Amino acid sequence: MALRFYNTLTLDVKPFAPARDNTVRMYTCGPTVYDYAHIGNFRSFVFFDLLRKWLRASGFQLDHVMNITDIDDKIIRNAVAKKQSLAEYTASYTQAFFDDCKLLRLETPEHVARATEHIPQMARAIRELEEKGFTYESEGSIYFRIASFPEYGKLSHNDFSGNRAGARVDVDTYEKDDARDFVLWKAPKEGEPFWNTEVGKGRPGWHIECSVMAIEFLGETLDIHAGGIDLTFPHHENEIAQSESLTGKPFARFWMHAEFLLVEGQKMSKSLGNFFTLRDILEKGYAPETVRYLLTSVPYRKSLNFTFEGLKSAATAIERLRNYQLRLDTARFSAGSNEVLERRTAEANRQFTDALDDDLNTAEALAAVFEYVRETNAAMDAGLFTSGNVEGAKAFLNRFDSIFDVLKPSEKANALPDADIEALVKERTDAKKARNFARSDEIRNRLSAEGVLLEDTKDGVRWKRK
């Protein structure tokens, strides 16, 4: 079965291919850089990354835009409180976001677009909406009149036809199910930064930012627009209203939304205070790839409950795969090729593809990998795994890692505690005494992968970190 995705707009799973020239034009809503992102935010970003990698593995090219929201109410409030300019205030959090992305092995989209660098284009779009009769002005701010867009509600599948005419909202996000006319352009308040544009002094609302930058880089109709599930309403609903009113074309063919990362059943969020940043987790001694693994282990459309137990299981799972890889690299297998195992490898590859083609079913894909590892490990123990099977197994593991990207230890991994290193060093010495050189080599490699070097001296083994 071919690649297919669930579409929030149509509420069903449909085959996916880009509309034009084999290139997937994709827009994902990026961070608001008013603070460090938490790992709940990163669940969405890790999902976007997996989506990228699987689209590319499926033979498509990517043209992907992610925005950086570097102007909004919270940013202004915090920057003013710290007596910093907006640019100063957002620079450090933007950098922190990129640092975290790098640690989590997230590819950089083809375009990273900062809202503040596209203000004139936003003013232009608002002017056009005005000219087409979709807006009204009140006290210097400009609002989108949702009654002028009869399809409003089609993404979140709400019937807003009975909404209160003329009710409007100035803030960018709101939880309520009733729709309001939303702000496109905000008049400046005393002491706030503003831009002088063709629609007057002020600053853009959050929603117009994404519509304008998406169309600017990718054209009027995107193949995929993705974000966290909470963005469905009002943010994406508003993006559709603005974009389709401007262009008269469908804004995005596929809408994909990642479910929440939960903590004890509640959404991980800044406002609830139940969040961890990546930094918080790394300080506890976990490697970044462990977080990456955990965040991908549950398919993106299911909520995922964060626990440290879960994080430990993720670390164990990665460890198992690394040990398997090491065994493939270092163990000696008998000559020849076991046909049954060759077929098993082909089957595992098929299962892996089928799972990810099925709306990125990462849990099934991981199950295919672990089942294969379990069976082939058993075949190795039984002496049935032959040298002719090694390449296929390695290729499968590499293929898995080209998407999940967790096998290479992080450079800053030097996180193996001294006690663990010493225990492994002792185990290696014992293995050598027992002439179990396969095991002693395995341990040396493992430690090397962790950045630990061993030196055999006449007084015993000395170790040091690279």
Contacts with ligand AMP, residue ranges (CB under 6 A): 29, 31-32, 40-41, 43-44, 227-228, 230-231, 258, 260-261, 267-269
Quick note: the x/- pattern for Zn ion over 15-44, rule CB under 5 A, is --------------x---------------
Which value, to the nearest 10 degrees, does the dihedral of the CA atoms of residues 396, 398, 401, 405 take? 180
Residue 216 Cβ vs ligand AMP, minimum distance, rounded to whole Å: 20
**CB-count exposure of residue 332 (10 Å: 0-12, 13-18, 19+):** exposed
Cα distance between residue 7 and residue 223, in whole Å: 11
Residue 230 Cβ vs ligand AMP, minimum distance, rounded to whole Å: 5
Residues 175-214 binding Zn ion (CB under 5 A) are 210
48 binds, among ligand AMP, Zn ion, none (CB under 5 to 8 A by kind): none
Cα distance between residue 253 and residue 258, in whole Å: 17
Q: How many residues bind Zn ion (CB under 5 A)?
A: 2
Residue 235 Cβ vs ligand AMP, minimum distance, rounded to whole Å: 8
* β 23-28/61-68 pair status: parallel
Residue 144 Cβ vs Zn ion, minimum distance, rounded to whole Å: 15
Cα distance between residue 107 and residue 371, in whole Å: 28
43 binds, among ligand AMP, Zn ion, none (CB under 5 to 8 A by kind): ligand AMP
90 binds, among ligand AMP, Zn ion, none (CB under 5 to 8 A by kind): none
Is 207 or 446 the residue whose CB approaches Zn ion more closely? 207
- For helices 308-330 and 437-449, give the axis angle rounded to 10 degrees: 130
Q: Is residue 65 a contact residue for Zn ion (CB under 5 A)?
A: no
Cα distance between residue 289 and residue 297, in whole Å: 12
Helix (H, G, I), strand (E, B) or coil at 235: helix
368 binds, among Zn ion, ligand AMP, none (CB under 5 to 8 A by kind): none
Residue type, 40: G
Residue 132 Cβ vs Zn ion, minimum distance, rounded to whole Å: 22
119 binds, among ligand AMP, Zn ion, none (CB under 5 to 8 A by kind): none
Q: Which residues 6+ apart lie within 8 Å of 387 measured at CB? A: 333, 334, 335, 336, 337
Cα distance between residue 112 and residue 67, in whole Å: 6
210 binds, among Zn ion, ligand AMP, none (CB under 5 to 8 A by kind): Zn ion
